Amino acid sequence: MEYTIEQIAALCGGQLVKNRQVTEKVQYLVTDSRRISFPATSLFIALKTSLRDGHQFLADVYQRGVRSFMVQHVPDAAELSDADYIVVPDSLQAMQQLAAKHRQQFTYPVIGITGSNGKTIVKEWLYQLLHDDFNIVRSPRSYNSQIGVPLSVWQMNSQHTLGIFEAGISQPGEMAALESVIGPTIGLLTNIGEAHSEGFASIEEKLLQKLLLFKHAHILFCNTDDERVAKAVANSGLPLFTIGSKEGNALHITGIEQEPVTTVTDNAVTAVKAVAMPFVIRVTAIYKGSNKTITIPFTDTASIQNAIACWAVMLYLEIEDAVIAKRIAALQQVDMRLQMVEALNNCAVINDSYSFDITSFTIAIEFLQQQNQYLKRTVILSDLPAFTAEENYGMVAQILEQKQIDRIITIGSKWQGYARLLAALPARVEQYASTDVFLQQVSVSHFRNEAILLKGARVFAFERIAAMLSQQVHKTVMEINLTALAHNLKQYQQRLQPGTRLMAMVKAFGYGSGSAEVANVLQFHKVDYLAVAYADEAVDLRKAGISLPILVMNVDEAAFDTIVEYNLEPELFSFPILKAFLKFLQQQGLQQYPVHIKLDTGMHRLGFEEPDMPALINILQQQQEVVVTSVFSHLTSSEDPNDDEFTHLQATRFERCCALLKEGLGYSFIRHLSNSAAIFRLPELQYDMVRLGIGLYGVDSANEHQLSLQTVGTLNTTIAQLRKVKAGETVSYNRKGKITRDSLIATLRIGYADGYNRRLGYGRGKVWVKGQLVPVVGTVCMDMMMVDVTDVPGVTENDIVEVFGAHLPVQQVAAWSETIAYEILTSVGQRIKRVYIEE
C-alpha cells in the first residue's frame, strides 16, 4: 500500500512540515541510511538508540535521494531544504503506531509467534508447509525486535491472505507495543528457556510478558508438557489449542519413536539424506477422537517440538491429513544465515537461497555490493514464490539496476515472461527455464573473478548450483560470523567518549578471519582507520576495494614504493627508518605525506623513547616531506588490574611526549594508546582514537563478563570414520594413546597442519560433539586426529564437530595449549575454507 505524507502524519500523530508542492506516496520505511533502494518512495525514520542517533545521517540520506523524513526535532533548514518531514516526540513509538494503523487495514489471519527459541524456525516451516494454500507475508529473517516487527508488518498488502510474524522481547514492557503492531488472530508459543532472560526477574515473568502478545488472539497454540507453560496459560483466560503427552490436550501426543529412514516416503528420504541422518521420527497423536500420524525428517528434540507445533496449526486450518503428512515429511532445514564461500576461478558464492522476498533480497544484494575484492557482481535469481504480483518483479529489476549489477541470470518461466523488465538494464542478462536447464547448459568455466549471489525460492534447489560453483576441498571449515563482528564493533563504539575515533586491526589475515572480508564489513560500518602489520596485507585490501586510511605497522625500506603507490600510511618507529623514508620522499618529490609516530612507553619493542623527543622534533621541524597524522604507543598489560599502576605510568609518559611533539610541530595530531581491553577498563585513556583488535573478534579476557561480545570464528570439522577399539589397544603414533575400556573412536578431518596444536593430544584437548565435550586420544597427526566418542549417543560419520566456537570458547582451547587466543586464531591454516555468515 501507498500513503501520502499527510496520511502518515495523521496516522502517527506527528506534525508535518511540508516543503514540496508534489510529494510521491510513501511505500517503504527505512531506518538504516546505508540500505535505501527506492529513495523517491521511502520515508526515512531517524531513530535514537543506545548505539547511534539516526539524525546524524539525515544529510547522507538526503544526498541519496530521500525527501520524506520522520524526526524527533526540526532539522536544519539548509540540511533538508526541499524535503518533507514529520516531527514526533519519539520516532520509534511513532513508527510502531504507524505500522499498527497499517495492520488494521487487513482482516486476513495473522499468526504471531513468540518464545525463547525456535521462533524463526517455526515461522519458516509454517511458510514451507502453507505457501501452496496462502499468499503469505512474513517477517524477513529474524526481524522480531521493536524495530524489526513494524518493518515486517509494513509489508502487508491486500494481495496477501496470511501473515506470519515473530516477536522477541528482552525486558518487561516491550510486548505491548509489538502486540498492537502484529495484532495476531492466531498465537503460537514456542519453547520457553533461558535464552534472552537477562532482563527478566524469572522465567515465569518472561513467560507472562510473552503471553501479552496473544491477548486478542482467537486461539493460542502451546505445549503443556512444560508445567510452567501449563500453569501460565491455564490462568490466562486465552482460548487454547494445547499440545502434549497427557490426555485432555487438543493434540494428544501418544508416541514419538525413531525408525529407519527407508520406511518413509521418497520425499522424506530426500530431505533426510540432505542432513545426513539415518533415522526419522514417527509421531502418533489423537485429534478430535481420530488417530493421526506424521513423520519428521529430524531427530533432535527442538525440531520435533517445532514440527509438532506446525502440525497443530495445519490441523486447525483443516489441511487434509495426507497433505500434512507429505509436507512435513519433506521439511527442509532452515539456515537463516547468508553464507559466502570461496568458489572456483577466483569467484565467491553468496548463498541466500532459503527464501525469496523483496526485503531479504535487498539485504543480500547490499552484502554482494560490499565484496569489492571481485571485478564483477553477478546475481542468479529464481522466480519469486507463488502469488507474487508483476509489480514485485519490477521492484527486483529496479534494485538490480540501481545496484549496478554486471550480470543477471534468471531461472524460471515467470522471469522469461517478464524479460522486458530486464531488457533495458545495462547488465548482461541470461535466462533459463529451470535449474536443470541451467546446470545442463552452464559450467564453472562461465564464471571468473566474480562475486555471485544465489537468491532463489526453495523449490528451485539452488544448493545444486552452489555445489557446482564451490570449491570441493577440505571438509574442515572456519565459519566467520560477520553479523557478530558488527555486533562486537558496536559494543565497543557505544563505550567511546564523544569524538573518539576507532582504528580496527585487520593484521594477520584478520586474526585468521580473512582480511578483505572483515575490512569490507568495517568499511560498511564506517570505522575511521584500519591497521595491518605489513604492506603486503594493505595492498590486498586496496585491491579488494578498501578505501579507508590504512596504517602499516611494520615498515622497512623495501616497502616504501608499495606504501606510496597504494596510498598507505607508515608507522615510523626509529631514526634510521624515519631518515630513510624522508630521503625516499625527497627523491620522489613528495611532500606532506601522512605518517604515524610510534612511541615506546614501556613495551620495549618498537618506538621512540622520551629522551629521543628533542632530536625527533628537530628532524621533523627541518623537513616538508611528512606530516604527522598520529602519535601512538602500545600498552603492555591493559587487561590486568594488577598492572594498572604501570599502565598509567605509560600513559603519563605518552602524554608528556605528545605535549612536546605538539609544541615542537606547531599543529595537532591524533593520539591513540588504548587497545581492546583498555577501551572499556580505562576510558580515561581513550584520547582521540582507540585501536580495536582481538575484541572485535569476540575475545576480550578483561571484559568478558561486562561486554556482550559474540563469537565471530567457529572452527568446525567432521568425523571421517568411527572405529570400535578394544581395551588395551592403542591409538595414533608411538602407541601413547592407550585405551583402558572398549571404546568408540572418531577420526576427525583436522590435524596440526591445519593449526590444531600437537600439545592438545593425550586428553589435554577436547572437542564438542553432539552436545558433549570429548577428549583427544593419542598424538595429533598432521592431517587428522582421534577423539573418544564412546559416551556420545547417536554419533555418526560425517557429524559436525566444533573445535572451537560458541560451545567451546577459543580461550579454553588456548588455555589447554598453554598459549593465548591470538595464537589459536592466527594458526588456523590457509587450506581451511573460510565461510562468511551474515544473519
Tens of pLDDT along 89-108? 999 999 999 999 999 999 99
Contact in structure between 754 and 832 (CB atoms under 8 Å): yes
Residue 723 — pLDDT band, cuts 50, 70, 90?
Answer: very high
Share of the chain above pLDDT 90, in %: 67
With cell 509436507, the residue in question is 327
Architecture of domain 713-838 in this structure = Beta Barrel (2.40)
Mean pLDDT of 769-789: 95
Dihedral, CA atoms, 30, 34, 38, 41, nearest 10 degrees?
40
Q: Which of 770, 769, 750 is nearest to 760 (CA)?
A: 750
Give the pLDDT confidence of 586-619 residue by residue, as tens digits. 999 999 999 999 999 999 999 999 999 999 999 9
Instruction: State phi, psi for 432 to the nearest 5 degrees.
Output: -135, 145
Residue 703 — pLDDT band, cuts 50, 70, 90?
Answer: low
Residue 272 pLDDT greater than 60, yes or no: no
Give the pLDDT confidence of 542-572 residue by residue, as tens digits. 888 889 999 999 999 999 999 999 999 999 9
738-753 burial: b if 16+ Cβ within 10 Å, else e: ebeeebbbbbbbbbbe
Q: What angle do CA 486, 488, 489 make, to 5 degrees?
A: 65
Residue partners of 655: CB distance under 8 A and separation at least 6: none
Report d(CA 318, CA 65) in Å as an integer: 48
User: Does an H or E element contain 430, and which?
Assistant: strand 428-432
Mean pLDDT of 477-500: 90
- Is 733 one of the annotated active-site residues of the chain? yes
- pLDDT reported for residue 363: 84
Give the pLDDT confidence of 398-430 residue by residue, as tens digits. 999 988 999 999 999 999 999 999 998 999 999
Give the pLDDT confidence of 147-170 residue by residue, as tens digits. 999 999 999 999 999 999 999 998
Report d(CA 258, CA 767) in Å as an integer: 27
Residue 221 — pLDDT band, cuts 50, 70, 90?
Answer: very high
In this structure, what C-alpha cell is assigned to residue 827? 594458526
In this structure, what C-alpha cell is assigned to residue 622? 627541518
- pLDDT reported for residue 268: 40
> What's the mean per-residue pLDDT of the chain?
90
Mean pLDDT of 639-665: 95
782 is an annotated ligand-binding site residue: yes
Residue 513 pLDDT greater than 70, yes or no: no
Give the pLDDT confidence of 165-213 residue by residue, as tens digits. 999 998 999 999 999 999 999 999 998 876 556 678 888 899 999 999 9
Give the pLDDT confidence of 320-369 residue by residue, as tens digits. 999 999 999 999 887 767 788 888 888 999 988 877 778 888 888 888 98
Residue 740 pLDDT greater than 90, yes or no: yes
Residue 251 pLDDT greater than 90, yes or no: yes
Share of the chain above pLDDT 70, in %: 94
Q: Which of 661, 664, 633 is nearest to 647 (CA)?
A: 633
With cell 531513530, the residue in question is 47
Which residues are bridge partners to 290 per DSSP? 287
Residue 229 pLDDT greater than 80, yes or no: yes
DSSP state of 154: T
Q: Which of 692, 691, 695, 712 is nearest to 704 (CA)?
A: 695
- pLDDT reported for residue 262: 55
Contact in structure between 770 and 741 (CB atoms under 8 Å): no
The identity of residue 652, as a single letter, is: T
Residue 647 pLDDT greater than 80, yes or no: yes
Mean pLDDT of 55-80: 87
The identity of residue 196, as a single letter, is: H
Least confident segment among 105-119, 337-351, 759-773: 337-351
Q: Which of 273, 358, 365, 286 is nearest to 321 (CA)?
A: 286
Architecture of domain 5-91 in this structure = 3-Layer(aba) Sandwich (3.40)
- pLDDT reported for residue 776: 96
- pLDDT reported for residue 794: 86
DSSP β-ladder status, 550-552 and 626-633: unpaired
- pLDDT reported for residue 273: 36
Residue 78 pLDDT greater than 80, yes or no: no
- pLDDT reported for residue 267: 43
Give the pLDDT confidence of 18-42 residue by residue, as tens digits. 988 888 899 999 998 888 888 999 9
Residue 450 pLDDT greater than 50, yes or no: yes
605 is an annotated ligand-binding site residue: yes
Residue 256 pLDDT greater than 70, yes or no: yes
- pLDDT reported for residue 800: 92
Mean pLDDT of 745-771: 94
Residue 474 pLDDT greater than 80, yes or no: no
Going across the sheet that includes 15-17, the strands are 15-17, 84-87, 68-71, 42-45, 28-30
- pLDDT reported for residue 471: 60
Question: Catalytic residue among 507, 529, 687, 756, which?
Answer: 507
CATH T-level assignment (fold) for domain 106-329? UDP-N-acetylmuramoyl-L-alanine:D-glutamate ligase (3.40.1190)
Residue 91: C-alpha distances to residues 8, 98, 169, 179, 661 (Å):
13, 10, 19, 18, 46
- Is 18 one of the annotated active-site residues of the chain? no
Give the pLDDT confidence of 276-296 residue by residue, as tens digits. 345 789 999 999 999 999 999
Residue 140 — pLDDT band, cuts 50, 70, 90?
Answer: confident
- pLDDT reported for residue 162: 97
Give the start-to-end residue ranges of the domains of the chain. Answer: 5-91, 106-329, 339-472, 480-697, 713-838
Q: HSE on the CB side for 715, CA within 13 Å?
A: 25
- pLDDT reported for residue 36: 86
DSSP β-ladder status, 713-725 and 670-672: unpaired
Residue 433 pLDDT greater than 80, yes or no: yes
Residue partners of 826: CB distance under 8 A and separation at least 6: 508, 509, 511, 512
Label residue 265 exposed, middle or buried (CB < 10 Å: 0-12, 13-18, 19+). middle
- pLDDT reported for residue 82: 87
CATH class of 480-697: alpha beta
CATH T-level assignment (fold) for domain 339-472? Protein-Tyrosine Phosphatase; Chain A (3.90.190)
- pLDDT reported for residue 455: 92
DSSP state of 684: G
- pLDDT reported for residue 199: 75
pTM of the model: 0.74
Question: Catalytic residue among 246, 733, 736, 738, which?
Answer: 733
